[in-house]
Amino acid sequence: MNVEISNLHLLQGEEEQNNKKEIVKSDGFMSLASLVDTEELTNLYHVGGFSLDLKQEDRPQVSVVSNEFATPNNKVRFFFTKSMKDAEVKNTATALIVKNIDGVEVLETHQKVNDKKTKLLSILTLTKAIREKFNNGIEASKLRFDALKNNTNEVSTQALWDGCMPGGYFWCGGGCGYQTGSSAIKNKIDGCCLNHDYCYANHSTARCLNCDEDLHACVTNPINRADDPTTADYIATYFEWHCSSL
């Protein structure tokens, strides 16, 4: 799984404005917006957006544009990812929405891919721990975009997926995990990669079905993703293209 991540940059100025206009007119946005109260939708703001390129050895390059929206009360988060490989385009719209159902607060995850019907992926009872993770995920995203804004060159230089991924990972990345002899785990995303390594060790064939789909589900789980949204998004985007069943 040696993947090079290059040309990472923050969407700013006219590029950011044009990107936002394209998103709010999209079917994905309209579909997610229908799930949210009008008042919440009015308060939705753009957390930030970035673009990057993914390249794995002899495979075609994948270009990705990612944008995130949220409400000030942290009850709604929208993610929009546009990934392009050759002439193929995949638009993925994901919503994390806090709702009150029969007096119980829950966190719903919805997703729409291209022209497919919007799917309800999960419903979690909003415990204190889950609420903290949800809020921390938004704060982590803000810090990520601030880092890009303040030091784009440094972030771009570090964004190479050859060896362990930047940020102190022990199991995520090509040549990481067993090859490093480490027994440590950085966070839940690293734990997903650890399980993925064990799965690869036990399956030499049909790895997309047996291992990669589980890794994708693990890193996109909203509780796990909150530990490091950027790394989780990199991994999810890669395997969405690597395994056509996702």
The yes-or-no verdict on residue 129 having pLDDT over 90 is: no
- To the question of pTM greater than 0.85 for the whole model, the response is no
Residue 165 vs residue 15, higher pLDDT:
15
List the structure tokens of 113.
């891919």
Q: Which 8-state DSSP code applies to residue 221?
A: S
Q: What is the pLDDT averaged over residues 72-94?
A: 87
Domain around 93: 3-242
Q: What is the pLDDT averaged over residues 181-200?
A: 85
User: Residue 68: helix, strand or coil by DSSP?
Assistant: strand
Residue 240: alpha-carbon gap to chain centroid: 11
The single-letter code of the amino acid at 30 is: M
User: Under 8 Å CB-to-CB from 205, ≥6 apart: which residues?
Assistant: none
pLDDT number for residue 182: 65
**Exposed/middle/buried for residue 230 (C-beta within 10 Å: 0-12, 13-18, 19+):** buried
> Positive or negative CA dihedral for 160, 163, 167, 172?
positive
Closest C-alpha among 136, 168, 165 to residue 235: 165
CA 74 – CA 92 distance, rounded (Å):
21
pLDDT tens by residue, 29-65: 999 999 998 888 888 998 888 887 877 667 778 888 8
Q: Over pLDDT 90: what percentage of the chain? A: 10
Average pLDDT, the chain: 80
First to last CA, the chain: 17
Alpha carbons within 13 A on the beta-carbon side of 50: 24
Find the length of the chain. Answer: 246
Number of domains into which the chain is organized: 1
pLDDT tens by residue, 17-27: 998 899 999 99
Q: For residue 159, what pLDDT band results from cuts at 50, 70 and 90?
A: very low
The yes-or-no verdict on residue 165 having pLDDT over 80 is: no
Q: What is the pLDDT averaged over residues 64-70?
A: 87
pLDDT number for residue 27: 93
Please, which residues bridge with residue 51 across strands? 9, 65
